[in-house]
Amino acid sequence: MSINRKAKHNMRKKCYSCHEKESHHEKDTNRCKGCVCNQLKRLQTQTEVDLFLFGGQVIEDVIFITFDQNNCCAFFNDPETEPGSTIVVDCQDIQAIRFEAD
């Protein structure tokens, strides 16, 4: 019976990109951890926010563009301070988010 289990265990699917067992990617699926990262995963695009970064810096009145769960980067536009610019912030460097009132 234990021989069968080992055979099943060794027959796991292989990763298409690196040809190793798929289970090695499990640790990467939840790389972006924390309250702010979880909020950004669900945040609607074009939402205006203020960002409070670790270290005390505040980035105000930016527009959320997208969130990349593969590298934890959050992308924002800054239409007031620097029109046309994009700000890229690691979600794990953001201490708090203020959602702007309509």
Query: Residue 98 pairs with which residues in a beta bridge?
Result: 50
Res. 32 pLDDT band, cuts 50 70 90: very high
Give the whole-angstrom CA distance, residue 101 versus residue 98. 9
* Residue showing tokens 């950004």: 40
Give the whole-angstrom CA distance, residue 67 versus residue 86. 13
Q: How many CB atoms lie within 10 A of CB 27?
A: 8
At 31 the pLDDT is 84
Backbone angles phi, psi at 5, to 5 degrees: -60, -45
Give the whole-angstrom CA distance, residue 34 versus residue 28. 15
Candidates 1.10.3720.10, 2.30.30.100, 3.40.50.10470, 3.40.50.2300; CATH matching 31-99: 2.30.30.100
Summarize the confidence of residues 27-51 as an average pLDDT.
89
Res. 95 pLDDT band, cuts 50 70 90: very high
Q: How many CB atoms lie within 10 A of CB 36?
A: 21
Q: pTM for this one?
A: 0.70
